[in-house]
Structure 1
Amino acid sequence: MPKRGGRWRDHREVIDAIAFKFQTGTQGVHLPEKYGNCRGVHNRLRMWALDGTWERVFTALMAQADADEDLTWAVSVDSTIVRAHQHAAGARKKGPRPQSQPITPSAGPAEG
Structure 2
Amino acid sequence: MGHLIWLSPAQMRRIEPYFPLSHGIPRVDDRRIISGIIFVIKNGLRWRDAPKEYGPHKTIYNRFIRWSRLGVFNRIFSELAAKGGKPNELMIDATHLKAHRTAASLLKKGMFPDVSDAPKVG
Range class of TM-score, shorter chain: 0.5 to 0.7
In structure 2, stretches of 5+ residues that fail to align are 1-24, 99-113
The percent identity for this pair of structures is: 22
Determine the structure 1 residue equivalent to 2:68: 49
Tell me if 1:39 matches 2:58. Answer: yes
Residues 22 and 53 from structure 1, CA distance in 2 versus in 1: closer, same or farther, beyond 3 angstroms?
A: same
Match of 2:29 in 1: 10
Q: TM-score normalized by structure 2?
A: 0.56
Query: Which residue matches 2:21?
Result: none
Give the Cα separation in 1 of the matches to 2:33 and 2:73.
13
Distance 2:95 2:40 in 1: 21
Cα gap change, 1:65/1:21 in structure 2, threshold over 3 Å: closer, same or farther? same
Is this contact kept in 2: 1:65–1:71, CA < 8 A? no
Count of matched residue pairs: 82
With the length of structure 1 as denominator, give the TM-score of the two structures.
Answer: 0.60
- State the partner residue of 1:108: none
Between structures 1 and 2, the one with greater helix share: 2
Q: Secondary structure at the match of 2:84?
A: helix
1:31–1:38 contact (8 Å) kept in structure 2:
yes
Q: CA RMSD in A?
A: 2.9
- Distance in structure 2 (CA, Å) of the matches to 1:79 and 1:28: 22
Q: Which amino acid aligns with 1:75?
A: I
* Rg larger in structure: 1
Structure 1 segments unaligned to the other structure (5+ residues): 1-5, 98-112
Aligned to 2:119: 93
